Amino acid sequence: MEPASFKDLERTGWIAKASTYPLGFGGATKGAVDPLLDAVGVSRGTRLLDIACGPGDGAGRAAGRGATAVGINFAPTMVELARRRFPEANFREGDAESLDFAEASFDAVICAFGLLHMAEPERAITEAFRVLAPGGHYAFTVWAPPERHQFYELVFSAMNEYGRMDVPLPPAPPFFRFSDPDESRRVLLAAGFDELKVDEVPLVWRYKSAESVIDMIYKSAVRLSMMLEHQTADARERIHQAVIEGAGKFRQYGGYAMAVPAVLVAARKP
Ligand SMILES: C[S@@+](CC[C@H](N)C(=O)[O-])C[C@H]1O[C@@H](n2cnc3c(N)ncnc32)[C@H](O)[C@@H]1O
């Protein structure tokens, strides 16, 4: 039997985690929706495509602005959840790397925290370009690199100290590849986009208790959970303890919150 590819593992992971994702990182990613919709100019009548829509907030909020909004995701459980949450938008199963839409079908395309989970993100960018009408806008978000992102800084330093980062997962693009504005510009220009803009969006991740952070990693992250599952039992336990101890330091107003900024990249199809 062929070993599972990175894409297979991601898809299986997202199918399993759809119902718990909104309680974890989905709570933080929602903050990027309006900046993304503003970046692509969504208003009444805009034809909007939300790629890797997850629980549906991008397309759902675009429909709330009067747009004709479509969301696609390769995990059927996410599509079902999005449909239940936002009946006014249209959600369907689909692959970002091979979109099932004719060229020039949309005025605006967004992809919130999707590219960093894809095996072939260049294909997803070329596909976004193809389905956009000339003059249409594209915008995506990815996480800022660990040096500015309190959650990744905490987890990756614990993993470096007590375990290993080079676990045997199938080959995949680097997680923070598009957090680098030069790399994003290079790939978008090569796909044919112009009018490139890069901004940082200051998001916050709130959580109930330091211990709940571990639970949320396993319930709402896919690659990171796999990296933890591949540690030895001893290393994993030490990493958990270090993360809990670190997470306990971000106390605010009776709860906890970490700064989890996003990089927002926007461009236009000439
Ligand atoms: C971190 S979640 C982001 C969800 C949502 N956009 C948000 O901002 O919360 C990543 C999503 O990308 C989806 N995804 C990953 N690769 C995909 C692909 N090739 N085609 C469609 N969806 C994909 C996953 O199913 C998952 O729902």
Answer whether residue 2 shows pLDDT above 70: no
Closest ligand 1 atom, residue 53 Cα: 6
- Ligand 1 contacts (CB < 6 A) are 10, 14, 26, 29, 52-54, 58, 73-75, 78, 95-97, 112-114, 117-118
DSSP-derived pairing of the beta strands 68-73 and 47-51: parallel
Cα–Cα distance measured from residue 132 to residue 136, given in angstroms and rounded to the nearest whole number: 6
Residue 116 CA to residue 184 CA, distance in Å, equals 12
Q: Using the mean position of ligand 1's atoms as its centre, give its distance from the Cα of residue 116 in Å.
A: 9
Compute, in angstroms, the gap from residue 241 CA to the centroid of ligand 1: 29
User: From the CB of residue 234, how many other CB atoms can be counted at a distance below 10 Å?
Assistant: 10
Q: Is the pLDDT of residue 214 over 90?
A: yes
Which residue's C-alpha comes closest to atom 27 of ligand 1? 54
Report the atom number in ligand 1 closest to the C-alpha of 58.
6
Is pLDDT of 202 > 90?
Answer: yes
The residue nearest atom 1 of ligand 1, judged by CA position, is 113
Closest of 74, 52, 53 to residue 63, by C-alpha: 53
pLDDT in tens, 75-122: 999 999 999 999 999 999 999 999 999 999 999 999 999 999 999 999
Mean pLDDT of 17-39: 96
Q: How confident is the model at residue 1 (pLDDT cuts 50, 70, 90)?
A: low
Nearest to 78 by CA among 101, 103, 60: 60
Q: Could you tell which of 73, 125, 175 is best to mutate to test the pocket of ligand 1, judged by most ligand atoms within 8 Å of the CB?
A: 73
What rounded mean pLDDT belongs to the chain? 96
Asked whether residue 221 carries a pLDDT value surpassing 90, the answer given is yes
When pLDDT is averaged across residues 211-232 and rounded to a whole number, the result is: 95
Residue from 151, 155, 135 nearest 143 by CA:
151
Q: Which residue has the tokens 């299986």?
A: 12
Average pLDDT over residues 203-229: 95
pLDDT digits (tens, 9 = 90+) for 29-77: 999 999 999 999 999 999 999 999 999 999 999 999 999 999 999 999 9
237-264 per-position pLDDT tens digit: 999 999 999 999 999 878 999 999 999 9
Residue 206, Cβ neighbours under 10 Å: how many?
13
How far is ligand 1, taken at its centre, from the CA of residue 234, in Å? 31
Q: How far is the CA of 67 from the centre of ligand 1 (A)?
A: 21
**Average confidence (pLDDT) over 204-220:** 94
* Ligand 1 pocket: which of 98, 113, 127 to mutate (most atoms within 8 A of CB): 113
pLDDT tens-digit profile of 129-161?
999 999 999 999 999 999 999 999 999 999 999
Nearest CA to ligand 1 atom 23: 52
Span 198-225, mean pLDDT? 95
Angle, in degrees to the nearest 10, between helices 212-220 and 233-247: 120
Ligand 1: distance of its center to the CA of 51 in Å? 7
pLDDT of residue 161: 97
Domains and CATH numbers, the chain: 6-145+173-205+260-268 (3.40.50.150)
